[in-house]
A and B are shown apart, each in its own frame.
Chain A
Amino acid sequence: MKNRWTLYDPRLAWMLIAPVLLLLIFFLVLPIAVMSVYTFFTFVTAGVETSALTTANWHEFLTDSYYHGFLLKTLRVGAVTALLCGVLGYFPAYFIWATSFKHKWLLLLLLIVPFWISFTIRTFSWINILGEQGVINVALIKLGIVSEPLPMLYTEGAVIMGLLHFLLPYMILNVYVSLESIDRTLIAAARSMGCTSAQAFREVTLPLSLPGLAAGLLLCFVLAAGSYVTPQLLGSGRDALFGNLIYDTIMSELNWPMGATLSIVLFVVLGFFAAIYTRYMGMSQIVKGLGG
Chain B
Amino acid sequence: MKPARRKQEGRWAWRLTGFVTLCVYIFMFAPIAATVILSFNASMFGGFPMTGFSLQWYGKLMANEAVLAAFRTSLWIALVTAAATTAIGVVTSFALVRFDFPGKQALSTLVILPALVPETILGVGLLVLIKAVDQPRTLLLLVLGHILLAVPYVVLITQARMVGIRRVYEEAALSLGASRFSSFREITLPLLIPAVVAGALLAFTISFDNTSASLFWRPAGVETMPTQILSMLKISISPEINALGTVMILVTVGIPLIGGVLMQSLTKLRRRGEPKEEAK
Contact = CB atoms under 8 A, between A and B. Distances in A.
A133 interface: yes
Contact of B48 (A12, A35, A134, A283): A134
A122 B32 contact: yes
Contacts of B6: 196-197
9 contacts: A20-B88, A91-B17, A116-B256, A120-B229, A125-B34, A135-B30, A198-B9, A226-B118, A226-B121
A158 to B, nearest CB: 11
Interface residues of B, number: 98
A119 B31 contact: no
B79 interface: no
Contact of B28 (A26, A169, A225): A169
Contacts of A129: 30-31, 34
Contact of A23 (B117, B148, B226, B256): B148
Contacts of B35: 121, 124-125, 128
A225 B118 contact: yes
B233 A91 contact: no
B98 interface: yes
A27 B144 contact: yes
A126 interface: yes
Interface in A245-292: 246-247, 250-251, 256, 259-260, 263, 266-267, 270, 274, 283, 286-287, 290-291
A165 B156 CA distance: 24
A32 interface: yes
A31 to B, nearest CB: 3
Contact of B157 (A35, A125, A223, A291): A291
Contacts of B101: 10, 13-14, 17
A286 B120 contact: no
Contact of A259 (B27, B124, B241, B242): B124
Interface in B72-105: 88-89, 91-92, 94-96, 98-102
Contacts of B21: 91-92, 95-96
Contact of A124 (B111, B115, B225, B233): B233
Given A32-B125, A142-B49, 12 more contacts: A13-B101, A24-B113, A88-B24, A122-B31, A124-B237, A129-B31, A168-B27, A197-B6, A256-B128, A267-B121, A286-B116, A291-B160
A65 interface: no
B146 to A, nearest CB: 10
A193 interface: no
Contacts of B160: 291
B226 A119 contact: yes
B124 A250 contact: yes
Contacts, number: 278
B145 A131 contact: no
Given A20-B111, A165-B31, A263 B124 contact: yes
A94 interface: yes
Interface string B246-263: 001100110010000000
A74 B248 CA distance: 30
A51 B29 CA distance: 50
A146 interface: no
A228 B119 contact: yes
A113 B132 contact: no
B114 interface: yes
Indicate the size class of the contact surface on chain A: 35 or more
B186 interface: no
B226 A197 contact: no
Contact of A21 (B14, B34, B107): B107
B122 A31 contact: yes
Contacts of A198: 9-10, 13
A247 B174 CA distance: 53
B46 interface: yes
A23 B153 CA distance: 15
B53 interface: no
A27 B180 CA distance: 31
B245 interface: yes
Contacts of A164: 27
Interface string B212-256: 100110000000011001100100010001100100110011001
B85 to A, nearest CB: 10
B139 interface: no
Given A23-B151, A92-B24, A132-B47, A34 B128 contact: yes
Nearest to B98: A8
A119 B27 contact: no
Contacts of A9: 99
Interface string A90-116: 011011101000000000001101111
